[in-house]
Structure 1
Amino acid sequence: MSTSVAAHVVSSLASVGVTQVWGVVGDALNPFTDAVRLDDRVEWVGVRHEEAAAFAASAQAQLTGRLAVCMGTVGPGSIHLLNGLYDAKKSHAPVLAICGQVPRAEIGTNFFQEVDNDRLFADVAVWTGTLTSPEQLPHLLSQAVDAAVARRGVAVLTVPGDVGGLDGPDEAARFAPPAAPVAAPEEQVARAADILTSGGDVTLLVGCGARDARDQVLRLADTLAAPMVVTLKGKEGLERDNPFQVGQSGLIGNPAAAHALDACDVLVLVGTDFPYRDWYPTGKTVLQLDADASHVGRRTTVDHALVGDAALTLDALLPRLERRDDRKHLDRAVKEFGVWHAAQRRLLDPAHDRSLLGRVRSRFDNPDERIRPEAVAAAVDAAAPDDTIFTSDTGMSTAWLARFVEMRGTRRLVGSYNLGSMADAMPMALGAQALDRTRPVVAFCGDGGLMMLLGDLRTAVTYELPVVLVVFDNASLGMVRLEQEQGGLPRFGTDLDNPDIAAVAVAMGLAARRVEDPAALEEAVAWAFAQDGPVLLDVVTNPDEVAIPPKPTVSQGWGFAIAKSKEVLESR
């Protein structure tokens, strides 16, 4: 008995470990969703917006390193995938998108809903192809999957509406094994050793490309007496039990990390493509270790490159280095980080706002005595188990997570940290939770981001995904407001007239609470983690809270002063 093209595709994907397919049903996808219905190895997760499907697949691929799959039907359904697929592209996540197309005879006639998928997805995808006959199937599917996995990106397979139901071929699709990691060449390692043994204070900037080289990176920091600045994506796996780390750089960073970068003589980049050029120090000798040669030197001038797997390359480099006795550079950076961290923790104490300094601060930035977002992040950090997966929306919620949530134990972290999209936290949490419905998953949601894809709250209920959604409800687009005020502009267009988000969540079937009293925060967070199903905390937070950058400039200060003056005058 022959199987359909769609059944062949679904069965082949199941054979390489695909367990879920995300999308919205419709026309050209009907043969595929029916094939999923009949295959016990694969679960269909029907979302309310295809963008959520692509974000969920991106999260799954980032967390597992395996292929994840989403689907969009003809025209608009596939277009809706685009934003989440760009997130997968920029996060180097292997995702296959199966997209519908009009019947073969209508292609090129400007038919109803017709879109040129190959052109539409040309920039986001490492591979695109259109399946026009069953005979093409094994080869096109193999090419799509192999390209996504080998090049860690998005592949788009387009299937016209009259092809999915045709009889499939007898030949099964065959997939290539992943390439084995390799160390940087010997001459690169030898040159790096010469530079690192020639003296001068060293600082490490370490990213997610070194997560599997944790032991080697810690030994490198110890050997070189080097403070370790960890990127946001590098927090996972590198932050916990790390006596050398001094937090993040950039706008979410801290003065200790900024000093560690500025005060070094040699900067070593390990597995990072940290994009913000203004935050790199100048006048340093720079070494960069990365598995992808295209990353080398595109953010700052690099004096020496090592192209290879981080763990294997450091295994070859470390025996060539001698442990340094002079630890002053490291000790100063770690001490400064400890002082800054302790000061940040003091802000979490409700009694702080009743102290003299706290009363002065509150008079200006929190006159309504709303919950401080730092306290929300810290309360969740304290309550969340050590195996929690965290997601966050782009914006201020990410800043609070970066500063107040520690990636201890086996915690994981995923977000739109390269694309920087709004509305990613909730759908990524759905994707993470669907991998293992018993593992805790927490989303740090901005109110603007959550409202953008609000309909997929119901997806959590429909598919019994017990996510914990924490909404930082400051009734504004906080990061945009901050950008405006830094530039001396009064806030405009950033205020949000939110509904009672907790009441909306209850109406959609979630357990939910609205939290307005700082004294009620800790109990509400504990309640959320005690629930069996999906839960939402709508926490009304102080809209004027500012995550001060590690090196505030005079122009930023004047910008805030001018903006606040304008806001006061206009309000009067």
Structure 2
Amino acid sequence: MNVSEQILQILKNVGVTQIWGVTGDALNTFTDALRDDDDMKWIAVRHEENGAFAAGAEAQMTDNLAVCAGTVGPGTLHLINGLYNAKKERVPVLAISGQVARVNMGTNYFQEVGLTKIFDDVCAYQAIIRSAEEAPRVVLKAIQIALEQRAVVRVEIPVDIAVEEAKGAHFEHPVFRGNAVLVPSEKDINKIANAINEAEKITILAGAGCRNSREEVLALSEKLKAPIVHTFRSSDVIHNDDKNVVGLTGLIGNPSAYHAVMKPDLLLMLGTDFPYSNFLPDDVKIIQVDKRIENIGNRVKVDIGVQGDCLATLEKLEAKILPKKNSEFLDNLVENFKKWKQHKLESSSLKMDEEPLHPQLFMNVINKKASDDACFTVDVGESAIWVAHHLSFRGKRRLLGSFNHGSMAVGFPAAMGIQSVNPGRQVWAIVGDGAFGMCMNDFITAVRYNWPVKILVYNNSQLGFVKIEMEEAGYAMADEALGLQNPNFAEYAKLCGGNGIRVEHAADIEKAIEMAIASPKPFIIDAVTNPGELSLPPNITLEEAWGFGKSKVKEILLSVQGDKNQKNNLMDEIKGFFHNSK
């Protein structure tokens, strides 16, 4: 047994079944060792970043270690963006880095890179294996840290050590996973209970940290007559169809959730590090409960901060809080949220068949047709708006994305990561044309491994969300920077050996989605949509209104002067405005 084979055996012992990467140099010994291995396989992606994104999604779905690999300098550097996403999503991922032989290290050898400095911010632990004897010790330490801290770790192996005879077996041991629960003190529980009992209007802001306490959050809301607001990341924890839920706040949120957060007597933040301080109140009493104490007071001034697991906290709190009788605050918000949802439903009806198509129409049909345990991945940008506004996470549906890192091009590779460990589950990637263009080379990887992911590509030939940001800042639309020249994505899918359909008419949407669901192959829906579709935030500041107004004046002047791109942009926006006003 050589060192590479020894490392692979250690990984198999903790339940790792696959490695995402591009082989070469120091990694060739790993792929050789896997040649006849039935318990672990090498997933050969076309770009290491896609492999890292996929590994992060795999870890999130399995709650176990996932592994990606890059060889020597350039290959490992390609991993870094996907690993940053794994870090921000707090999932356990091990990156294996190849390195030049020890005799060449420190000589500026071909492809040699000082990886430790570069990965210092993303990794909770890094180690360079400098002898065969220390290999098992280092790898086990990395795995332990990744699993217990839910973190990214990296192990670097020089090519000459990878082929050496394995040693250090006396260091090998089982990897232990802790089951400790962080329970707040009685003093902290009493502080929370007293504050809740004294308040009249209470709002709950529930984050992804409530995943194991969903029913307790709903019960607390009912007892306190408190509206529940969720973050985008916790959309599959607290659903928009649940009782007392008033939706999502933030830039892509809705007015009911915004007012619920900004206007109570007491805001109870549970398991969330919601980053947008401008959507948090500065004159409301706030309680924050989080396992990670560094999150408490990180975004807004907090009056009572408690370190603890949300489930353990709510279980201890339940007996100490008094039920509320007045539900006026809750009832008004819930009623307004129902109206908002009805408006969104009407605006996404297939009767709204103007062309280019409104992007909402596709999400409305997917919401109806997708299975109740479907997994959805979403990219940053406008695609996130349509998911947030038109997709219900009823049943056992899941949502994954780059919610904290905010990277483009996460949606499709994350869908591959999910499908690879859930072969019978329906998996959808909801992506924009800009994001998909960054990672579409690995569509052929999905074909190779027979992963029937369904990909909805919003094809509006534009970086749509960047356009919104640009106009909000007062700039005129810059087509040379925002415009995209796209292929026919459906034909591309077929060329790769998958399947797909291009949709330009509302009458074809249902059929396209049914085809995608039924397809045993990876499937792309090339959705040709209106680039001028507008989606306004739940609260518009004077500064934002002024910036948007300046941009429109500039665009009108450029249009009058003969700029056809500006004229087409304004016409598309007018179509979108009147559609959303109906």
Length-normalised TM-score, structure 2: 0.94
Task: Supply the distance in 2 between the matched residues of 1:141 and 1:550 (Cα, whole angstroms).
Answer: 48
Match of 1:218 in 2: 218
Task: Supply the distance in 2 between the matched residues of 1:510 and 1:173 (Cα, whole angstroms).
Answer: 44
Match for residue 525 of structure 1 among 513, 533, 540: 513
Match of 1:114 in 2: 112
Q: Map 1:159-308 to 2 at 5 A.
A: 159-169=157-167, 170-171=169-170, 172-239=172-239, 241-308=241-308
Match for residue 127 of structure 1 among 122, 125, 128: 125
Match of 2:414 in 1: 428
Q: Map 1:550-569 to 2 at 5 A.
A: 550-569=538-557
1:65 aligns with 2:63: yes
1:139 aligns with 2:108: no
Match of 1:383 in 2: 369
How much has 1:560 moved relative to structure 2?
2.7
Determine what percentage of the aligned residue pairs are the same residue. 40
Secondary structure of 1:539's aligned partner: strand
Match of 2:464 in 1: 478
Task: Supply the distance in 2 between the matched residues of 1:496 and 1:555 (Cα, whole angstroms).
Answer: 29
Task: Supply the distance in 1 between the matched residues of 2:208 and 2:327 (Cα, whole angstroms).
Answer: 26
Match of 1:361 in 2: none
Task: Supply the distance in 1 between the matched residues of 2:136 and 2:410 (Cα, whole angstroms).
Answer: 34
Deviations 1:260-294 (A, max 9, x none): 11220100000101100000012111001111111
Task: Supply the distance in 1 between the matched residues of 2:29 and 2:351 (Cα, whole angstroms).
Answer: 61
Contact persistence 1:237–1:410 (CA under 8 A) = no
Length-normalised TM-score, structure 1: 0.95
Amino acid at match of 1:219: A
Match for residue 503 of structure 1 among 486, 491, 495: 491
Amino acid at match of 2:272: T
Secondary structure of 2:288's aligned partner: strand
Match of 1:310 in 2: 310
How much has 1:179 moved relative to structure 2?
4.2
Amino acid at match of 1:218: L
Q: Map 1:367-516 to 2 at 5 A.
A: 369-492=355-478, 493-516=481-504
How much has 1:241 moved relative to structure 2?
5.0
Secondary structure of 2:302's aligned partner: coil
Contact persistence 1:11–1:39 (CA under 8 A) = no
Contact persistence 1:54–1:85 (CA under 8 A) = yes
Match of 2:45 in 1: 47
How much has 1:379 moved relative to structure 2?
1.3
How much has 1:101 moved relative to structure 2?
0.5
RMSD: 1.3
Match of 1:17 in 2: 15
Task: Supply the distance in 2 between the matched residues of 1:279 and 1:309 (Cα, whole angstroms).
Answer: 25
Amino acid at match of 1:50: E
Match of 1:102 in 2: 100
Structure 2 spans left out of the alignment, 5+ residues:
563-582
Match of 1:359 in 2: none
Aligned length: 556
How much has 1:47 moved relative to structure 2?
0.2
Amino acid at match of 1:118: T
Task: Supply the distance in 1 between the matched residues of 2:199 and 2:372 (Cα, whole angstroms).
Answer: 39
Tell me whether 170-179 or 438-447 shows the greater mean CA deviation.
170-179
How much has 1:38 moved relative to structure 2?
3.3
Contact persistence 1:63–1:414 (CA under 8 A) = no
Secondary structure of 1:174's aligned partner: coil
Contact persistence 2:72–2:113 (CA under 8 A) = yes
How much has 1:178 moved relative to structure 2?
2.4
Task: Supply the distance in 1 between the matched residues of 2:431 and 2:395 (Cα, whole angstroms).
Answer: 23
Match of 1:356 in 2: none
How much has 1:149 moved relative to structure 2?
1.2
Deviations 1:226-251 (A, max 9, x none): 10001111111221651011110111
Amino acid at match of 2:65: L
Task: Supply the distance in 1 between the matched residues of 2:309 and 2:366 (Cα, whole angstroms).
Answer: 35
Secondary structure of 2:34's aligned partner: helix
Secondary structure of 1:414's aligned partner: strand
Amino acid at match of 2:5: A
Amino acid at match of 1:474: N
Task: Supply the distance in 1 between the matched residues of 2:159 and 2:103 (Cα, whole angstroms).
Answer: 10
Amino acid at match of 1:158: E
Secondary structure of 2:90's aligned partner: coil
Secondary structure of 2:502's aligned partner: strand
Tell me whether 196-205 or 368-377 shows the greater mean CA deviation.
368-377
Deviations 1:465-518 (A, max 9, x none): 110000011110011000011112111111111111211121111101110112
How much has 1:42 moved relative to structure 2?
1.1
Deviations 1:321-354 (A, max 9, x none): 121111111111111100111111110124457x
Match of 2:35 in 1: 37
Match of 1:365 in 2: none
How much has 1:173 moved relative to structure 2?
4.3
Contact persistence 2:429–2:453 (CA under 8 A) = yes
Q: Map 1:534-549 to 2 at 5 A.
A: 534-549=522-537
Tell me whether 217-226 or 268-277 shows the greater mean CA deviation.
217-226
Task: Supply the distance in 2 between the matched residues of 1:377 and 1:489 (Cα, whole angstroms).
Answer: 30
Amino acid at match of 1:551: N
Amino acid at match of 1:321: I
Contact persistence 2:457–2:527 (CA under 8 A) = yes
Match of 2:82 in 1: 84
Match for residue 157 of structure 1 among 140, 155, 158: 155
Contact persistence 2:240–2:246 (CA under 8 A) = no
Secondary structure of 1:338's aligned partner: helix
Task: Supply the distance in 2 between the matched residues of 1:402 and 1:501 (Cα, whole angstroms).
Answer: 24
Amino acid at match of 1:156: R
Tell me whether 56-65 or 435-444 shows the greater mean CA deviation.
56-65
Task: Supply the distance in 1 between the matched residues of 2:123 and 2:424 (Cα, whole angstroms).
Answer: 33
How much has 1:95 moved relative to structure 2?
0.4
Secondary structure of 1:460's aligned partner: helix
Task: Supply the distance in 2 between the matched residues of 1:544 and 1:113 (Cα, whole angstroms).
Answer: 45
Task: Supply the distance in 2 between the matched residues of 1:328 and 1:381 (Cα, whole angstroms).
Answer: 31
How much has 1:453 moved relative to structure 2?
1.3
Match of 2:576 in 1: none
